[in-house]
Each structure stands twice: as structure tokens, then as C-alpha cells.
Amino acid sequence: MQVTNDQGNKKARYAYIDVLRFLGIFAIYLGHISSPSGPVNKFVFLYHVPLFFFVSGCMDINREMVLEGQGENPYSYKRYIKSIVHDIKTLVFPWLFFSIFSMIVYVLNNGFDKEKVILNLEIIMKGCIRNQFFAGSLWFFTCLFIVKIIFGLIKLLKNRLLIFVICLLLFYISEYGLPHRPLVNPQWYWNTDSAMYYIIYYGIGFCLFPKFNSLLAGNDRSEGRKIKKAMFYAIFVWGGYTRHWPFWEKIY
């Protein structure tokens, strides 16, 4: 069900997307409480971050659909620049605030160590590279920002199949074409290598949202059930991906 405001105008918000967000947040919670969550801890790490990028891609195409409905051209360079400015306000500024706030809390708790403070400030300037900054969750802000910058250029092509292929190519380059594996050992400034890895999920959400939204919101319940099953099975197929077999061995 799509949520609407008092005037009946469409908003970029859907009830089932809100449910996905909740499930993603809950999975993050389970993942970060570590051992108390038991075997579920390893399972949620198979999908919780990709899920957030997938949902972000869904909301991206939804915004484009709304703009088109209002007579605007969402696939223009002018619109691309406006979206970058918007993302700076909603992603970069909050990231910078919480990065500095985290440093203040760190100094208050651990005392002022000049070398460590300088080291952490350098990591902040690099965009809080994943697994390198003590406030570990802040990497997501810069990574999503880079994903949106890259994807914003790709989607100007307007061809969804070509968009998907390019995203898939970036994913495979990140997995097999770099001297390091971003998922395990990210190294590039502002998590650009991680953005190359996760952009495929963003692209899948962008390319598939119009189709599965029409199915889920439509009257054809059989088609709706089919896509729900497909999404359900996809999670477990991905969970059995060769890179993650050790997780399954430990769980079972």
C-alpha cells in the first residue's frame, strides 16, 4: 500500500518498503549485538547492508516516477547536480557532524592522545573507510553518497538493462578485478571501492521497483505471490553464494 498525504499527493513512501526498512534495522541490531543473537548473527550479515542499498535504489526510481508525473525531466544533468546538492545536505553534513561528535566523545572517554586524534582525523578526511574508523557505522553515509553520485551518472543512459549491466560490471570488478576485496578489506577514499561492490543492489532496486511494485499493489494476487516467493528465495540463494559457504557450515 502506498502512503499518501492529506492532499492525496503521492509521497515516496510505501508500507511494504517501511517493513523492509524495519527488517533491515532489526537485522543491523542483531548483527551488532554479536554472540547474544546466536546463529542469526551470521545470517543477517548476508543481507542487511545489501537490503539498505536495494531499498535506496527503489526510492530513487520512485522519485523519478513522481518527477515525471509532475512534468519534470528526472534524467537531466541539471537534475543530477540538484540531487548531488541534496545528497550533500542529507548524507555528507550528517556524516561530518557525527564524525566530529564521535571524536569529541572519544577524547572525553580516553583522554587527549595527539597521535591517535590526528590519525582518526585523517581517517575522517578519507571518508571513514569501513573497518578503519572506531565509529564503524559512519562508513555507510559516505559509501551511499558515492553510490548515488556514480549511479546518478549511469542512470542518465535511461536504459534499465544497460544500467543493470554496468552496475553488475562494477560489482565484478570490485570482487575480482582489484588487488583487495572491498567487502573484507576496503581501502579507497570515501569507500569508493565498497560503493562499486554495493551499487549492484542499488541498481537492482532501481530497475525492478516499478515492476514488483505494480505486482504487489495490483489486484493479481497470484502474480504478487510469485514475486514475493522470488524475493524470498533470492535471499537464500545469495546466502548460499560460494563466498559465504563457511557461514552456513558454522550455522548448521
pLDDT band at 234 (very low <50, low <70, confident <90, very high): low
Cα pseudo-dihedral 83, 86, 87, 89, rounded to 10: 160
| Residue in 61, 52, 68 with CA at minimum distance from that of residue 155 | 61
- Is the confidence at residue 8, as pLDDT, over 60? no
pLDDT at 91: 97
Contact of 191 with 53, CB cutoff 8 Å: no
- What's the predicted TM-score (pTM) here? 0.83
pLDDT at 247: 42
Q: Is 216 exposed, middle or buried (0-12, 13-18, 19+ CB in 10 A)?
A: middle
Segment 166-183 shows an average pLDDT of: 94
Segment 192-196 shows an average pLDDT of: 97
- Helix ranges (H only) for the chain are 15-32, 40-44, 48-69, 77-87, 93-110, 114-125, 139-154, 160-172, 192-217, 221-239, 245-251
Segment 148-171 shows an average pLDDT of: 95
Which cell numbers hold the place of 166?
A: 554496468
pLDDT at 12: 52
Contact of 197 with 183, CB cutoff 8 Å: yes
- 3-class secondary-structure state, position 11: strand
**What is the rounded distance in angstroms from the CA atom of residue 27 to the CA atom of residue 52?**
11
Which cell numbers hold the place of 176?
A: 575480482
- 3-class secondary-structure state, position 136: helix
- Is the confidence at residue 142, as pLDDT, over 60? yes
- Is the confidence at residue 226, as pLDDT, over 90? no
How confident is the model over 40-97, as pLDDT tens digits?
777 787 788 999 999 999 999 988 888 888 888 888 999 999 999 999 999 999 999 9
Kindly report the length of the chain: 252
